[in-house]
């Protein structure tokens, strides 16, 4: 499996190694890594379970359950991300902010897959490089929260909703329950089984011109470490093809970075507007060998208007470090705001602006934007704003605001965003 990137991209980056070499050159740093070495570090956003013995039993059960993805799928995705990091591929990653157990249904999942398929075809045609789709799907059940407690209208203070594998959005079921981790595994397995049985279309843009079937890789935030570690075997997290670390849990000396640094999976890291070039290079040094092109995906989510000032020093420092990460843009999480009546939303125009600015800044810096990461759903929800939304926004949000957490683009908005971005790139 010695896949070579395009000659142009490789000479640009002076890359002379094969994918096979990078896949087997792992562990950086001197201290030994195990799937449990994170336990000696501080885990931000850790869930406090009342029943510690029960949690231990649940983790033993999880360790005995079959993997949700094959290690060959993880390696295959590593190769796709390697190409995207070098500019000879592109990634569309998308799905719910928080998946719901109740949405693990054939039609709902099918609409999410169809959307990612449509977006990858649009991108492939305008960018003229093979485009790989990754769902925030089949396991995106754990959420970090800015406020870990919530005050109900009655004045009662309860745990915030932390995702379906921790507690329920129903205020009467907010106590973290370790058994939900098992349910999370089962719903992930059910979703994964649907993804594998779904009749998927053929796509024609394989690098050798042959027809290859559209395949969807899975991903989620590696937040709940007892769960992630229980599904880790021989350095592969087999709960998803790739995982990412959130903006709130990427502390250099924290448990999440410790967990991720030993994995063979490609690993994403969210990068917010306050990250310094030194922070980003330090993360790369811990998470990847310099030779491991595309092992780490830096997912910038900095908000509209900030790319021209925030990104160039980071891109420059990363280049000087010798690392070649895949650069992605998440135009969602830096553009969230609350309406006067307290509803969390985003404007699709702000998201397009951040994507365009990020793309342009990478070009100007001699770098590549290799992917986009979006919160979206295949359904016709009313959670984000666009130019067709007139007048009384509360009436609009009242129609179909169904998200358990952050606002998602509807199918039409998500396609509009990718079409606009694609024509911008083509122009
Ligand atoms: C998310 O992706 O849902 C999320 C919480 O993102 P971030 O860590 O970038 O805030
Ligand atoms: Mn979110």
Per-residue pLDDT band at 25 (split at 50, 70, 90): very low
Whether pLDDT at 154 is above 70: yes
Please return the burial class of 64, using the count of CB atoms within 10 Å of its CB with bins 0-12, 13-18 and 19+. Answer: exposed
Whether pLDDT at 212 is above 80: no
Per-residue pLDDT band at 3 (split at 50, 70, 90): very low
> Contact, 239 vs 68, CB < 8 A?
yes
- Strand 267-271 relative to strand 242-245: parallel, antiparallel, unpaired? parallel
pLDDT digit string, tens, across residues 30-83: 689 999 999 999 999 999 999 999 999 999 999 999 999 999 999 999 999 999
**Distance separating the N- and C-terminal Cα atoms of the chain:** 36
Task: Give the pLDDT mean for 86-108.
Answer: 97
Whether pLDDT at 211 is above 90: no
Q: How many CA atoms lie within 13 A of 230 on its CB side?
A: 22
This model of the complex carries an ipTM of 0.99
Task: Give the pLDDT mean for 185-203.
Answer: 91
Q: Which pLDDT score, from 0 to 100, does residue 213 have?
A: 84
**Extended strands (E) in 111-178:** 131-136, 149-151, 157-159
Residues with Cβ within 6 A of ligand 1?
97, 144, 246-248, 270, 301, 333, 406
Concatenated DSSP letters of 394-425: HHHHHHH---SSS--B-HHHHHHHHHHHHHHH
Q: Which pLDDT score, from 0 to 100, does residue 210 have?
A: 64
Does residue 99 have a known ligand-binding role?
A: no
Query: How large a percentage of the chain has pLDDT more than 90?
Result: 86
Nearest CA residue ID for atom 1, ligand 1 = 97
Whether pLDDT at 94 is above 70: yes
Query: How large a percentage of the chain has pLDDT more than 70?
Result: 90
**Extended strands (E) in 222-295:** 232-233, 236-237, 242-245, 267-271
Q: Which pLDDT score, from 0 to 100, does residue 389 have?
A: 87
Q: Which pLDDT score, from 0 to 100, does residue 31 have?
A: 82
Nearest CA residue ID for atom 3, ligand 1 = 97
Whether pLDDT at 410 is above 60: yes
Q: Which pLDDT score, from 0 to 100, does residue 6 have?
A: 55
For all residues of the chain together, what is the average pLDDT?
Answer: 92
Whether pLDDT at 257 is above 50: yes
Nearest CA residue ID for atom 6, ligand 1 = 246
Task: Give the pLDDT mean for 296-317.
Answer: 98
Cα of 159 to ligand 1 centre, how many Å?
A: 19
Cα of 177 to ligand 2 centre, how many Å?
A: 22
Q: Which pLDDT score, from 0 to 100, does residue 20 have?
A: 45
Whether pLDDT at 417 is above 80: yes
Q: Which residue is it, tokens 């990858």?
A: 120
Per-residue pLDDT band at 23 (split at 50, 70, 90): very low
Q: Which pLDDT score, from 0 to 100, does residue 16 have?
A: 52
Q: What is the pTM of this model?
A: 0.94
> Contact, 328 vs 297, CB < 8 A?
yes
**208 versus 320: which is more confidently predicted?**
320
Task: Give the pLDDT mean for 366-386.
Answer: 97
> Contact, 336 vs 345, CB < 8 A?
yes
Does residue 36 have a known ligand-binding role?
A: no
Task: Give the pLDDT mean for 197-212.
Answer: 70
Report residues near ion ligand 2: CB below 5 Å: 97, 406
């Amino acid at each position: 499996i010695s896949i070579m990137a395009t000659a142009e991209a490789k000479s640009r980056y002076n890359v002379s190694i094969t994918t096979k070499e990078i896949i087997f050159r792992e562990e950086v740093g001197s201290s030994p890594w195990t799937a449990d070495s994170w336990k000696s570090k501080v885990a931000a956003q850790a869930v406090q379970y009342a029943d510690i013995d029960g949690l231990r039993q649940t983790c033993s059960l999880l360790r005995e359950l079959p993997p949700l993805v094959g290690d060959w799928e993880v390696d295959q995705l590593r190769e796709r991300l390697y190409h995207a990091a070098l500019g000879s591929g592109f990634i569309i990653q998308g799905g719910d902010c928080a998946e719901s157990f109740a949405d693990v249904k054939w039609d709902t999942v099918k609409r999410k897959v169809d959307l990612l398929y449509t977006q990858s075809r649009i991108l492939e045609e305008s960018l003229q490089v093979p485009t790989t789709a990754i769902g925030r799907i089949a396991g995106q059940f754990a959420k970090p929260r800015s406020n870990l407690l919530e005050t109900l209208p009655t004045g009662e203070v309860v745990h915030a909703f932390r995702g379906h594998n921790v507690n329920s959005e129903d205020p009467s079921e907010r106590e973290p329950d370790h058994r939900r981790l098992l349910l999370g595994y089962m719903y992930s397995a059910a979703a994964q089984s649907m993804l594998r049985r779904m009749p998927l279309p053929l796509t024609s843009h394989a690098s050798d011109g042959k027809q290859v079937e559209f395949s969807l890789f899975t991903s989620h935030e590696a937040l709940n470490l007892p769960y992630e570690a229980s599904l880790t075997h021989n350095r592969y997290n087999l709960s998803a093809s790739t995982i990412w670390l959130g903006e709130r849990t990427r502390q250099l000396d924290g448990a999440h970075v410790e967990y991720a640094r030993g994995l063979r999976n490609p690993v994403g890291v969210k990068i917010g507007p306050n990250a310094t070039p030194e922070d980003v290079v330090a993360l790369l040094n811990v998470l990847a060998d310099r030779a491991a092109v595309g092992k780490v995906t830096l997912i910038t989510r900095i908000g509209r208007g900030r790319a021209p000032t925030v990104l160039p020093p980071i891109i420059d420092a990363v280049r000087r470090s010798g690392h070649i990460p895949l650069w992605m843009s998440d135009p969602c999480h830096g553009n969230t705001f609350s309406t006067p009546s307290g509803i969390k939303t985003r404007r699709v125009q702000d998201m397009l602006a951040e994507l365009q600015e990020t793309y342009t800044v990478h070009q100007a810096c001699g770098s590549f934007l290799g992917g986009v990461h979006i919160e979206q759903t295949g359904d016709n929800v009313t959670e984000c704003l666009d130019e067709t939304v007139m007048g009384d926004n509360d009436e609009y949000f009242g129609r179909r605001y169904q998200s358990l957490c952050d606002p998602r683009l509807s199918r039409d908005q998500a396609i509009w965003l990718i079409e606009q971005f694609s024509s911008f790139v083509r122009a």
